Amino acid sequence: MNKKYVIVVLLLFQFISMESFAVATEYGISYQRRKNTFDANNYSDSESNTGSISVYLWEQIALEMSYTKGYVVRGEKISTDDLQRTILQTTEIYGGDLILILAGRGSLLQPFIKGGVAKILRKQETKIEGQGTETLEPAPATIPSYGAGLKIALSAALKLNISYDVWQTPVTDTTKTDDTSLRIGLSLML
């Protein structure tokens, strides 16, 4: 995105705030790592990282911009005669959501709902032992996203965030699937 547009948007947020002409900003991070091993040839290893910035327009309404990058590596070999197959899937998600917090920012428990759009970029590489690599890279898609969650205040500025998010990812030109994520992370209010 052009830097001029980002500056204009941030300046608009500064002047939109109804309470004191000071925009409250919340920075969040979350990390997920998972490894499952069935045997030496059959395994799954995944990792994802998310960073977000939420700009509060009013006491209980915020605009959240987020970036997620993740990967999954799977190894598969059904029998000793089968060739080893290794699949690497990578995903990048750029999100923009409007968040409605169902309690005041000073509350210990702050449930919230959110909805917006996300741009998703995906790539899959399949390597079959001795046969090379095949790559699938669907066109980037702009898709609806929604979710719900809970913020737990650990202090006035630090919060534990738990959220469940859904993206309607296209599988083909005519079909979609709901991809989901359960996230736990921390956020810092400035």
pLDDT tens digits, residue range 32-52? 888 999 998 899 999 999 999
Of the chain, the percentage scoring pLDDT greater than 90 comes to: 55
Specify the higher pLDDT residue, 169 or 94.
94
Per-residue pLDDT band for 54 (boundaries 50, 70, 90) equals very high
pLDDT confidence of residue 20? 45
Give the mean pLDDT of the chain. 86
Evaluate if residue 125 carries a pLDDT over 90.
Answer: yes
Model confidence at 139, in pLDDT bands (50, 70, 90)? Answer: confident
**Is 67's pLDDT higher than 90?**
yes
What is the distance between the terminal CA atoms of the chain, rounded to a whole angstrom?
24
What is the arithmetic mean of pLDDT over 96-121?
93
Contacts of 158 (CB under 8 A, 6+ apart): 186, 187, 188, 189
- Which residues have CB under 8 Å from 70's CB, separation 6+? 32, 46, 47, 48, 49, 90, 91
* Separation CA 184–CA 82 (nearest Å): 39
Q: Which amino acid is at 175?
A: T
Instruction: Place 17 in a pLDDT band, splitting at 50, 70 and 90.
Output: very low
Domain 3-189, what fold?
Porin (2.40.160)
